[in-house]
Amino acid sequence: MSAGSRSALRRPAGTARGLRIAPLGDAALLVELGDRIDPRLNARALALAAALERRRDVREAVPGYASVAVHYDPERVSYRGLAAAVERLAWTTSARAPSGRLHRIPVVYDGPDLEYVTSELGLTVEEVVELHTRPTYRCFMIGFTPGWAYLGPLPERLRLPRRRVPRTHVPPGSVAIAGAQTGIYTLPTPGGWHLIGRTTMRLFLPDSDPPCLLRTGDRVKFFARPASS
């Protein structure tokens, strides 16, 4: 293969209307539909992944915020052939994916960063709780640790950058916020999000099938629970 051919393979196959397709290793490609946290883009990513999963030459299609990682069988299809098919599907597949399951998650709002959050945002504890429990959040993707769900969008009034110095240990069940997102730590891990509460609900169930309670496209509604209950 000539240097020019190799260079062409590395270039995105599609860039129309914000769509970008690029190689991701020897038997995968990455489809980028946008670069922001947006429920509409996420719905498009889910719908595209579902359409690609129905192809015999696709081994797996994994949706993200606004992207899809497509693992394919190189004996059945070439990168260029699949990229062309993906570009067609991206604009013909309906983004009207059905609403995911709704999960109501109880939270005790007594996290170690709650005082810092109220001080930085100029809010009372009650206002933080009210703002955090007001939306019905979308599960944009699962990642970081098993069962961790990236939830959002977080209300503008609650948005803070991540901690300057991450904690070396965050207990599982910790409810946290950072940027435009909120989430629940599923395992004891390091973490740089602001801890505002805790829940007893388990999101990672290793002995279950599937092991993750939340799935991409699901919805989450938090509600406050007294510490004594």
In terms of domains, do 215 and 110 share one? Answer: yes
Residue type, 165: V
Question: Whose CA is closest to 39, among 150, 189, 178, 163?
Answer: 150
**CATH code, 33:** 3.30.1360.40
- Give the end of a domain, one of 92, 126, 159: 92
Alpha helices by DSSP H, listed for 20-171, are 39-53, 79-92, 114-121, 125-133
Q: Which of 39, 68, 92 finishes a domain? A: 92
Q: Does one domain contain both 49 and 112?
A: no
Same domain, 86 and 27: yes
Do 58 and 161 lie in one domain? The reply is: no
Domain boundary among 48, 74, 92: 92
Q: Which domain holds residue 220?
A: 102-224
Looking at the domain assignment, is residue 97 inside a domain?
A: no
Instruction: List, for residues 123-162, the tens digit of each pLDDT value.
Output: 999 999 999 999 999 999 888 899 999 999 999 999 999 9
- Residues contacting residue 182 through CB under 8 Å, at least 6 positions apart: 132, 137, 151, 152, 154, 175, 176, 222
| Whether 187 and 162 share a structural domain | yes
Neighbours of 34 (CB within 10 A): 18
Question: Do residues 164 and 194 share a domain?
Answer: yes
Contact, 103 vs 111, CB < 8 A? no
pLDDT band at 92 (very low <50, low <70, confident <90, very high): confident
Q: What is the pLDDT of residues 159-211, one digit of tens each?
A: 999 999 999 999 999 999 999 999 999 999 999 999 999 999 999 988 888 88
| Domain annotation covers residue 202 | yes
pTM (whole model) above 0.75: yes
